[in-house]
Structure 1
Amino acid sequence: MITKLSNYTLEDILPHRGNMLLIDGIVEADETYAVTTSVIRPSYPLTDSSGAKSLIMVELAAQTAGVCNGLDRIKEKGVDSSKMGWLVGIKRAKFHVESIPMGTTVVTRSENVHKYDKLREVSAVIRMGETVIGEITLQLYQL
């Protein structure tokens, strides 16, 4: 069941603030997956005049995973519960571009493929238009 997102802000769901909040919008989400949009900006880490380095996709995948896992937290513990972040390990990352041009909108879809207590394995795909530009598998653990 897709969660009614109008009830929550990104700040309700994620611990990220300021320049480290890379997600601009949530397209859809529930407690197992999320689809987000992000516009590549000069304020992002790992940027230069050519755009954002491909490694930024790891953080986009992690924050998108944070959306579905944040919604899961809200469902179980309430909106005012601790937004403590997750430790993130990169199990696999395949980048199809070296950088993403400034102003480009990317769409990230992250899904919990395994969930056990405070451990998650997340599969993410990042697209620029219809083109897949990154495929990432993350392992998350919440302290």
Structure 2
Amino acid sequence: MIDDVERLIPHRGLMRLVDEIISVDEKTAVTASTVTESWPMVEGGAANCIVLVELIAQTAGICLGWKEPRKKEEELAGTGWIVGVKEAVFHHSEIPLNSRIITASDRVFQVEFYSEIAGTARVGDETLAEVKLQMVQSDSNVNEETVS
């Protein structure tokens, strides 16, 4: 378990959906999150599955912001943005409160500041969503090597 969520993504307060980093390297990240009433798009005891796009993006941001080894202990993550959702397949319309979601992201393509991410969100063995994102990063946050 890695306790660096706020060092790797800029989200705070109610917009930080990731609770825990399970694993991370320069190409992949796996996180855990629990659906709470404070999440965006919660109504009637469940969250709308569209919020999983943001959760997968935050997991991808953890991967994109992670550098090993870190140059300085106080180094913070750079900034990145979602510039497109290439594909999103939702297998459910809502997620009950208190569900523990495991989210995985995989950087499948990168050139300079642009990355394509494939992500999944699961509860137990059940896949909730599969999402392909296009993301860009500020130049202070880009790994030197291209991942392919």
With structure 1 as the length reference, what TM-score do the two structures score? 0.88
**How far apart, in 2, do the equivalents of 1:75 and 1:141 lie?**
22
Unmatched 5+ residue regions in structure 2?
139-148
**How far apart, in 2, do the equivalents of 1:43 and 1:117 lie?**
36
Q: Which amino acid aligns with 1:58?
A: V
Answering whether residue 93 of structure 2 is matched by residue 98 of structure 1, we say: yes
Give 4+ residue runs of structure 1 displaced > 2 Å after superposition: 74-83
Q: Which amino acid aligns with 2:112?
A: D
CA separation of 1:117/1:54 partners in 2, compared to 1, >3 Å: closer, same or farther?
Answer: same
Paired residues for 1:1-143 under 5 Å: 6=2, 9-72=4-67, 75=69, 78=72, 79-81=74-76, 83-143=78-138
| Coordinate RMSD, CA, aligned | 1.8
Aligned residues: 137
SS in structure 2 of the partner of residue 86 of structure 1: strand
**How far apart, in 1, do the equivalents of 2:53 and 2:32 lie?**
14
**How far apart, in 2, do the equivalents of 1:110 and 1:11 lie?**
18
Higher deviation after alignment, 8-17 or 125-134: 8-17
Per-residue CA deviations over 1:36-82 (Å, capped at 9, x if unaligned) read 0000011111111231101011001100001111103x757655245
SS in structure 1 of the partner of residue 55 of structure 2: helix
Give the Å deviation of 1:112: 0.2
**How far apart, in 2, do the equivalents of 1:95 and 1:46 lie?**
15
Per-residue CA deviations over 1:84-127 (Å, capped at 9, x if unaligned) read 23233100000000000000001000000001110000000110
CA separation of 1:134/1:82 partners in 2, compared to 1, >3 Å: closer, same or farther?
Answer: closer
CA separation of 1:75/1:15 partners in 2, compared to 1, >3 Å: closer, same or farther?
Answer: farther
* 8 Å contact kept, 1:28–1:36: yes
CA separation of 1:37/1:139 partners in 2, compared to 1, >3 Å: closer, same or farther?
Answer: same
With structure 2 as the length reference, what TM-score do the two structures score? 0.85
**How far apart, in 1, do the equivalents of 2:77 and 2:8 lie?**
10
**How far apart, in 2, do the equivalents of 1:99 and 1:66 lie?**
24
Unmatched 5+ residue regions in structure 1?
none
Q: Which has the higher helix share?
A: 1
Identity %: 36
